[in-house]
Amino acid sequence: MSLKHFHIVFLVFAILCDAAFWLWMHFMPEDAAAAGAAPLKPYAGLLCLALLGYGVWYVIKKMRTIIV
């Protein structure tokens, strides 16, 4: 696996983990508050969007050079 492929796989897992963290804080706010993670909710959502945007940009930028 090349470094480009690993980068894409890492981005996918990072987006999934961050989205799951945001969803946990959104649908279980009592548990998030008990864990002390409630103030991170807006940052987790923004980070997920930023990672998603970066992932799309990276794939479009590298589409010509990524060997499938």
Residue 35 forms part of a structural domain: yes
Residue 67 forms part of a structural domain: no
> What local confidence, expressed as pLDDT, does residue 51 receive?
96
> What local confidence, expressed as pLDDT, does residue 33 receive?
93
10-residue mean pLDDT profile of the chain (68 residues): values are 86 96 94 93 93 93 73
Alpha-carbon dihedral angle through residues 12, 14, 15, 20, given to the nearest 10 degrees = 120
**Residue found by looking up tokens 């945007």 in the block:** 53
Residue 30 forms part of a structural domain: yes
How many domains is the chain built from?
A: 1
3-state secondary structure of 27: helix
Residue 68 forms part of a structural domain: no
Residue 9 forms part of a structural domain: yes
Q: What does pTM read for this prediction?
A: 0.82
Interior angle at CA 60, CA 56 and CA 65, nearest 5: 135
Domain membership of residue 25 as a residue range = 3-62
Buried b (16+ CB within 10 A) or exposed e, 36-57: eeeeebeebbebbeebeeebee
> What local confidence, expressed as pLDDT, does residue 36 receive?
93
> What local confidence, expressed as pLDDT, does residue 68 receive?
60
